[in-house]
């Protein structure tokens, strides 16, 4: 949901508007529960509390309700701009009482705990882990012992949506969550904490879910402070022979995306040229002028020592090369297959490995035996069906990119006409490989194509039609 919120902001739907919609939805639900009475909002300092502030403001418009608000802590410690904005509006909203209480003893002495018809729990959001701190812990106890009808916002405060151990939680009569049901609210035994769960719409943009956006990048695995060499991914690029630029571009893109180690295995006739791209690359020279079956023993060892294999950039279509590709894929636990490695590829691969294929329309037509339709919905259906039948994740490149694993299908609209220049597909392949080293296939492919297109957009602003694939590599970190 945080990813969707961020994608909405990227599209132009502000977090403030989503909070307004959520709070208004809460107020309507309270109105459906009781037509008049005392309603006490207990709010924390995050966005959960912000939703409560909006709901209190909406409810106070009706004189039939006695609306009171407790903020757990001082106004100055509210953590988000949206929540602070909505707390500031309360003093203009006809609310009977607004209190800021930081001390647990003061909280216990508050007189309103036992005479509210409804207590709205906006104390803690969905990211809680471990035991709640004070004054939130005392607030949870007082809410539970109040005897009032308890309505929790998004998740009962203290409840772990990831299914972890619950040290202390509100026991709600009803939980209101937004946009879609959260899996944590349907876990076995969750009902004693959540009560009845209602999912309320808040006007999320459809494209915030279907199209990849910056929110999707938020949960990518990243380098930790105590990481050691190799922990952030070891990527093997197998390519070259027919061409030397392609494997070099893919390898440099993988490094820029954050891979710790990138090894490039290329035929000996291009090895020195690829090595000259950068001293950051580890280059292994393979016997022969093209990838061939004699390279299998060396490559099998390299595949085993890397997290993901990128295969295809610049390899050409020699019969021996394509035969070698088929055999190599059976050794891979994770592989990104691109360019000529897709030519006459037999699918599904006879392996338990996970594979991302990155074809353009002509390559996809050859793989699938079907013409790619112009209509986006029809194209999505074909890609999803193919991915499911062949047990692969497909990243179909185009004006609108389509990513599917046969179960989920996402779209991407970053990128521009300048990216028709040679080498941009190799950059995308390298980015995909780096992300796939630490993330699952669907997530890696979706984020990779957004990053590649976004970097291309930044490069196009600077270079226009003179954009080069290397310009995109230099802007990868700006997007990430």
133-171 tens-digit pLDDT = 999 999 999 999 999 999 999 999 999 888 888 889 999
Helix pair angle (376-390, 361-368), 10° resolution: 50
Rg (CA), the chain: 27
Q: Where in the chain is the domain with CATH 3.40.1190.20?
A: 224-479
Instruction: Measure the CA–CA gap between 283 and 271, rounded to whole angstroms.
Output: 7
What phi-psi label fits residue 347: left (phi over 0), alpha (psi between -120 and 50 degrees) or beta? Answer: beta
Instruction: Measure the CA–CA gap between 62 and 397, rounded to whole angstroms.
Output: 54
Return all residues near 74 (Cβ < 8 A) that are at least 6 apart: 100, 102
Q: Which CATH number fits domain 224-479: 2.60.40.10, 3.40.1190.20, 3.40.50.620, 3.40.50.720?
A: 3.40.1190.20
| pLDDT by position in tens, the chain (length 480) | 889 999 999 999 999 999 999 999 999 999 999 999 999 999 999 999 999 999 999 999 999 999 999 999 999 999 999 999 999 999 999 999 999 999 999 999 999 998 999 999 999 977 677 788 999 999 999 999 999 999 999 999 999 888 888 889 999 999 999 999 998 899 998 999 999 999 999 999 999 999 999 999 998 887 666 666 666 799 999 999 999 999 999 999 999 999 999 999 999 999 999 999 999 999 999 999 999 999 999 999 999 999 999 999 999 999 999 999 999 999 999 999 999 999 999 999 999 999 999 999 999 999 999 999 999 999 999 999 999 999 999 999 999 999 999 999 999 999 999 999 999 999 999 999 999 999 999 999 999 999 999 999 999 999 999 999 999 999 999 999
455: exposed, middle or buried (Cβ count in 10 Å: 0-12, 13-18, 19+) = buried
Percent of the chain with pLDDT over 90: 91
Q: Where in the chain is the domain with CATH 3.40.50.10260?
A: 2-210
CATH of domain 2-210: 3.40.50.10260
375: exposed, middle or buried (Cβ count in 10 Å: 0-12, 13-18, 19+) = exposed
């Amino acid at each position: 949901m945080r990813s969707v919120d961020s994608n909405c902001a990227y599209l132009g739907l502000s977090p403030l508007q989503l909070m307004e919609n959520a709070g208004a939805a809460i107020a309507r639900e309270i109105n459906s529960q009781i037509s008049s009475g005392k309603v006490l909002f207990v709010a924390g300092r995050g966005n959960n509390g912000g939703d409560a502030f909006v709901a209190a403001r909406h409810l106070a418009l009706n004189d039939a309700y006695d609306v009171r608000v407790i903020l757990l802590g001082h106004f100055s410690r509210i953590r988000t701009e949206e929540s602070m904005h909505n707390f500031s509006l309360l003093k203009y909203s006809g609310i009977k009482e607004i209190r800021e209480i930081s001390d647990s003893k003061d909280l216990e002495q508050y007189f309103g705990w036992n005479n509210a018809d409804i207590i709205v729990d906006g104390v803690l959001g969905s990211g809680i882990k471990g035991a709640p701190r004070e004054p939130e812990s005392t607030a949870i106890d007082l809410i539970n012992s109040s005897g009032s009808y308890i309505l929790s916002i998004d998740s009962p405060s203290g409840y772990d949506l990831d299914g972890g151990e619950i040290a202390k939680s509100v026991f709600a009569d009803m939980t209101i969550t937004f946009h879609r049901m959260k899996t944590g609210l349907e876990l076995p035994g969750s009902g004693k904490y959540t009560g009845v769960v209602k999912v309320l719409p808040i006007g999320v943009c459809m494209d915030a879910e279907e199209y990849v956006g910056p929110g999707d990048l938020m949960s990518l695995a990243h380098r930790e402070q105590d990481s050691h060499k190799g922990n952030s991914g070891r990527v093997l690029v197998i390519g070259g022979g027919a061409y030397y630029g392609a494997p070099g571009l893919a390898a440099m893109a993988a490094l820029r995306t954050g891979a710790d180690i990138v090894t490039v295995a290329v035929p000996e006739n291009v090895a020195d040229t690829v090595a000259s791209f950068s001293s950051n690359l580890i280059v292994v020279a393979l016997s022969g002028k093209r990838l061939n079956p004699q390279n299998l023993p060396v490559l099998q060892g390299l595949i085993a020592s890397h997290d993901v294999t990128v295969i295809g950039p610049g390899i050409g279509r020699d019969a021996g090369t394509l035969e070698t590709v088929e055999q190599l894929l059976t050794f891979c636990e994770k592989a990104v297959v691109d360019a000529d490695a897709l030519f006459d590829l037999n699918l599904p691969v006879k392996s338990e490995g996970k594979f991302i294929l990155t074809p353009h329309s002509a390559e996809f037509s050859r793989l699938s035996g079907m013409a790619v339709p112009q209509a986006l919905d029809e194209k999505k259906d074909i890609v999803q069906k193919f991915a499911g039948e062949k047990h692969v994740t497909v990243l179909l490149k185009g004006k609108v990119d389509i990513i599917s694993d046969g179960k989920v299908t996402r779209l991407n609209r970053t990128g521009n006409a300048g990216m028709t220049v040679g080498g941009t597909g190799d950059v995308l392949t390298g980015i995909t490989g780096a992300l796939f080293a630490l993330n699952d296939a669907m997530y890696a492919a979706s984020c990779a194509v957004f990053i590649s297109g976004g970097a291309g957009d930044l490069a196009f602003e600077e270079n226009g039609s003179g954009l080069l694939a290397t310009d995109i590599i230099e802007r990868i970190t700006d997007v990430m």
